[in-house]
Chain A
Amino acid sequence: EVQLVQSGAEVKKPGESLQISCQASGYSFTAYWVGWVRQMPGKGLEWMGIVFPADSDTRYTPSFRGQVTISADKSISTAYLHLSSLEASDTAIYYCARGRHFYDPLWDYWGQGTLVTVSS
């Protein structure tokens, strides 16, 4: 059974950093891309970027480039989303999702989402 299991909810203060993990199982981790999607409270979906675990090829949406870091460790079938210098506006649910191609926004399995709250 394909599963993407994300790390738990986090509460952070402004200026802090955070890394969310997405552990994959049930398929060949290096054969698929893993992307990240942000959903701010009461808002729509935003594609942040994507990584190919086999060679760590990474692509970002321009608005997120330089603001976040996406990576993967194929030895433990886990992808990561690193957020630094957190602001209140980073409060959101972050989802990871599996895709076959970086250019095709067809993601067939999703993580459960990680709620990040940034508050002083």
Chain B
Amino acid sequence: QSVLTQPPSASGTPGQRVTISCSGSTSNIGSHDVNWYQQLPGTAPKVVIYDNNQRPSGVPDRFSGFKSGTSASLAISGLQSEDEADYYCVTWDDSLNGPVVFGGGTKLTVL
């Protein structure tokens, strides 16, 4: 059972916009910035969004992040087949759950 709650799966067709949610509490998302990682099959994770809504250089602007209260979300617009991957949210947690907590991950399928 992960401290941060993500839907286990999401899907979309090429060109669509998909949103992945991440729900937490006041001790984690409610108090700290959220980062998002993409993990392609058989590879190490890669950050796609940091500090809630910032994109590292090299990440397409199709990726965007949003945070409000104790929830965050990752949106991918203009979905492409190469976006098929697992996505994880992560943040700091002030409670005994911490200090760093991940969401359970969302498997994104491009239909």
Contacts and interface: CB of A to CB of B under 8 A. Distances in A.
A28 B35 CA distance: 24
Given A62-B96, A106-B47, A44 B56 contact: no
Contact of B56 (A37, A47, A103, A108): A108
Given A105-B91, A106-B50, A45 B98 contact: no
A113 B41 CA distance: 13
A1 interface: no
A104 interface: yes
B100 A113 contact: no
Interface stretch (B62-70, B76-84, B102-110): B102-110
Given A61-B98, A106-B35, A45 B88 contact: yes
Contacts of B90: 45, 47, 105
Interface string A95-118: 101000011111110111100000
A47 B102 contact: yes
Interface in A30-73: 35, 37, 44-47, 59, 61-62
Interface of chain B, main secondary structure:
strand
B44 interface: yes
Interface residues of A, number: 22
Interface residues of B, number: 26
Nearest to A45: B102
Contacts of B92: 103-105
Contacts of A103: 92, 99
Given A44-B2, A44-B88, A62-B96, A107 B47 contact: yes
30 contacts: A35-B100, A37-B45, A44-B2, A44-B88, A44-B104, A45-B39, A45-B45, A45-B88, A45-B105, A47-B99, A47-B100, A47-B101, A47-B102, A61-B98, A61-B100, A95-B44, A97-B44, A97-B45, A103-B92, A103-B99, A104-B92, A105-B35, A105-B90, A105-B92, A106-B47, A106-B50, A106-B51, A107-B47, A111-B44, A113-B44
